[in-house]
Each structure stands twice: as structure tokens, then as C-alpha cells.
């Protein structure tokens, strides 16, 4: 076999392998809205990064009259949230909130699908520290599910940029999409 023919065959083989590899359909990432369970009858999308970074809102808060002891700037408010609950809103792009309004008074079914940049371990450690209790963990539909002692709060990390937070039932319903 000539060198020219060998190179031609190698080129054909590379093109075939590149096509096969390129045609493998990657599983599409679900969007937050697609994760909302069907039994939710209230859905809200909050563009957190736009709100936190909106200069008009920041200026309005900064210039508003405040009671003594209240944070004087938006940055102080955000820093205080980090200190009190261990969550930095500056790390999140958007939040999709879902609930069953027929049970809102009892807080039986409420969930948040949060998108942003976060470190799972640090996030859980912060919440455990602020709450003064540790979560139990279990595997649920392929996700690590964090649940508080009373089994009222659940957290499931769906990807490096998306997680669920809410009542345990709401988190389980959203994390098993499509069930």
C-alpha cells in the first residue's frame, strides 16, 4: 500500500471518528423552569444578579433614611446576610421560586431553584454553622440530598451551578424531574 493511500485511509478514519464523536448527543441541561414540579401553582423567577447589581436600586437604598442599627448601604445588607445566614446573594444569577399556595400558610411546599457560583461544601458548612445543626445525607434519584433533623428543609445540588433548596417534599419533587 502506498503512503498516499495510507494517509487517505487515516484521514477517512479520523473524519469518521470525529463525526461519530461529534454526533453523540449530549444530554441537554435542564433549565430551572423545567424542574418546577407540576403540582406547584405559584412560580416566580427572580433575576437576582440584575436586582443586586441595579445601580438605581442601590442608590435608592443607600439614600433612603434608615433606623439606627440598620445597614446603611446595599453592600452592608449583603454582608449582613452572609454573616447571619451564610448565603451571599452576589453569588447567584437567578432564583426560581415555586410553591403550592394552598399550603403556604403551613409552609408545606416551597422550593427555590438557584443558579449561580457556589462551593457545595462551603455552602452546606455555612448553613450548618448558622443553624447550629448538621444535615443528614442520602442518595435520592442520583443526587446527594441534605436534610435537616426535623426533615423540614432539603437541599440537593443538581450541577456545579444549580441547586434546590426548600421543604423536603418540594426538593424531592423537583430533583426527580422527569419522574
- Cell 406547584 found at: 40
**Does 24 fall in a domain?**
no
**Does 79 fall in a domain?**
yes
pLDDT value, residue 8:
38
**Does 39 fall in a domain?**
yes
Torsion angle in degrees (nearest 10) through CA of 77, 120, 116, 98: -90
For the chain, how many structural domains are there in total?
Answer: 1
**Does 120 fall in a domain?**
yes
Domain of 104? 29-175
DSSP H or E run through 138? strand 136-140
pLDDT value, residue 103:
67
Give the mean pLDDT per block of 10 residues along the chain (179 residues). Answer: 40 37 45 83 89 91 91 92 81 90 74 90 87 89 90 90 91 73
**Does 54 fall in a domain?**
yes
Helices (H), the chain: 3-23, 32-35, 48-53, 55-63, 74-85, 120-131, 168-175
**Does 7 fall in a domain?**
no
**Does 77 fall in a domain?**
yes
**Does 3 fall in a domain?**
no
pLDDT value, residue 177:
58
Amino acid at each position: 500500500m502506498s503512503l498516499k493511500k495510507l494517509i487517505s485511509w487515516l484521514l477517512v478514519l479520523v473524519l469518521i471518528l470525529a463525526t461519530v464523536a461529534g454526533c453523540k448527543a449530549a444530554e441537554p441541561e435542564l433549565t430551572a423552569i423545567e424542574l418546577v414540579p407540576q403540582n406547584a401553582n405559584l412560580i416566580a423567577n427572580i433575576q437576582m444578579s440584575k436586582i443586586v447589581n441595579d445601580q438605581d436600586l442601590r442608590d435608592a437604598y443607600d439614600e433612603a433614611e434608615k433606623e439606627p442599627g440598620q445597614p446603611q448601604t446595599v453592600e452592608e445588607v449583603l454582608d449582613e446576610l452572609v454573616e447571619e445566614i451564610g448565603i451571599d446573594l452576589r453569588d447567584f444569577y437567578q432564583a426560581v421560586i415555586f410553591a403550592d399556595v394552598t399550603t403556604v400558610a403551613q409552609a408545606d411546599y416551597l422550593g427555590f431553584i438557584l443558579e449561580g457560583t457556589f462551593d457545595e461544601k462551603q455552602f452546606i458548612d455555612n448553613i450548618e454553622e448558622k443553624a447550629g445543626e448538621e444535615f443528614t445525607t442520602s442518595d435520592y434519584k442520583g443526587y446527594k440530598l441534605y436534610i435537616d433533623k426535623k426533615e423540614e428543609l432539603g437541599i440537593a445540588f443538581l450541577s456545579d451551578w444549580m441547586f434546590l433548596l426548600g421543604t423536603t417534599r418540594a426538593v424531592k419533587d423537583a430533583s426527580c424531574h422527569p419522574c
